[in-house]
Amino acid sequence: MQGTVIPAHPLALNKNRKLDQKRQKALTRYYLDAGAGGIAVGVHTTQFAIRDPEINLYRQVLKIAALETENHPKTNIIKIAGVSGEIRQAVEEATYASKMGYDLALLSTNGLQKLSEDQLITRAQEISQIMPVFGFYLQPAVGGKLLTRGFWEAFCEIPNVNAIKIAPFNRYQTLDVVQAVCHSSRKDEIALYTGNDDNILLDLITKYKINTPTGIVEKEIVGGLLGHWSVWTRKAVDLLNLAKKIKQNKIELTSDILSLAQQITDSNAAFFDAQNNFKGCIAGLHEVLRRQGLFEGIWCLDPDEDLSPGQMEEIDRIYRAYPHLNDDKFVRNHLKKWLSKSV
């Protein structure tokens, strides 16, 4: 509820597109040492294909991250497990995640376009009986489903919904979720997190004031659960601290901070391959991790999933234009430790 940095955890693969356990563990160590307050595993950035029977990595990657958080000196790390599929699959995944000590299920609508909103509410209710739920408005460009404000109003009334990740990359749909939460009887029990990687800082510094039948309700997006924050995570921690100080009126909101917001959005456009409707979004993140030495290569589970033409040059441009946004020095100073610890 206070807000924290939660990277959406990528999947480290070797040249044979098999799990690279050493680098998968190193990546979790990086996030925790960088100051992240949690991790989200088995989500879109981890690649939904980890669930395919021939790949079968869902349980393994959840277990690796859970063990790393247990072994880390930092306490109170929020562990979030991505949960996908129709009710049977979602129940199986949530049951395993709960067994592994995960705190919340990030409930994705990926691939569920044919399900009605009533069916999605029933599914969420089923999962909420197993473990607390983190709602997820995933943008349609990467497999999500458009949802009405009425859906979110019903969703917010589910007793074990603790948070919602708002990630439609759309101002109107973002407002639908905020309006639904503010009108809910559970408005004080649900934390809002941005998943709008194209609008990170502005989401974090905005105080919503929503007119409801019971009066004006103020609500903030308190933190981020973001694919963008799977890279340059140390700077993401600084950014969230900056946003909190602005909302507490400890720092003045200046035009330079608004310019910073647009620099971050420009960086995200390169990482996420916005020019090509996000086709290279996962490979783009892998490329940043490869440059830092955390990944050996940019391989994805699908051989056809790669950087788009011109995307490498866009990432080059971002590195030149905004050197203050990367945390390369922090990674360089700790990389050997993260990679050399016992596996």
pLDDT tens figures, 169-180: 999 999 999 999
Q: In this predicted model, what pLDDT tens digit does every residue of 143-179 receive, in sequence order?
A: 788 999 999 999 999 999 999 999 999 999 999 999 9
Please identify every stretch of the chain with a pLDDT value under 50, giving residue numbers as ranges: 343
Residues 6+ apart with CB under 8 A from 80: 6, 38, 39, 40, 41, 43, 102, 103, 104, 105, 106, 134, 225
What local confidence, expressed as pLDDT, does residue 111 receive? 85
What pLDDT is stored for residue 343 in this prediction? Answer: 47
What are the chain's domains? 5-232+331-340 (3.20.20.70)
pLDDT at position 138:
87
Q: Which conformational region is residue 8 in: left (phi greater than 0), alpha (psi within -120 to 50 degrees), or beta?
A: beta
Q: What is the pLDDT of residue 342?
A: 55
pLDDT for res 110:
86
3-state secondary structure labels for all residues of the chain: CCCCEEEECCCCECCCCCECHHHHHHHHHHHHHHCCCEEEECCHHHCHHHHCCCCCCHHHHHHHHHHHHHHCCCCCCEEEEEECCCHHHHHHHHHHHHHCCCCEEEECCCCCCCCCHHHHHHHHHHHHCCCCEEEEEECHHHCCCCCCHHHHHHHHCCCCEEEEEEECCCHHHHHHHHHHHHHCCCCCCCEEEECCCCCHHHHHHCEEEEEECCEEEEEEEEEEEECHHHCCHHHHHHHHHHHHHHHCCCCCCCHHHHHHHHHHHHHHHHHHCHHHCCCCHHHHHHHHHHHHCCCCCCCCCCCCCCCCCCHHHHHHHHHHHCHHHCCHHHHHHHHHHHHHCCC
